[in-house]
Amino acid sequence: MHSLFFAFSNNPSGGAQGGPSLLVSFIPIIAIFVLFYLLLILPQQKKAKQHQSMLNSLHKGDRVVTTGGMYGTVHDVKDNMIVLKISDEVKVELVKSAVAAVIDKKAE
């Protein structure tokens, strides 16, 4: 058992001097996770918050475009639904999250 340990150990005396090197070897992995968080996760969370605040501020008369590329005017706003007026006699109910962007905000 001891001979197997000595065969893989850099220190033939059997002392535990590998502690700091183990911590040093994890520093690049930790740095990659921090970089991943700062470059990918944080901007995505910011974008999601902006989209949610845009959805919460929808009002009747706002001109919007949906994720499917349909343009229309908000006719009515419900809890999680909107009624989108596409033309004079055509109205469609959509989930609020289907709104991609507000093109023209109605002056309040």
Whether pTM exceeds 0.75: no
E-strand stretches of 1-108: 63-66, 71-77, 81-87, 90-95, 99-104
Radius of gyration of the chain (CA): 29
pLDDT tens profile 5-53: 555 555 555 545 555 788 888 999 999 999 999 999 999 999 999 999 9
73 has which bridge partners? 63, 85
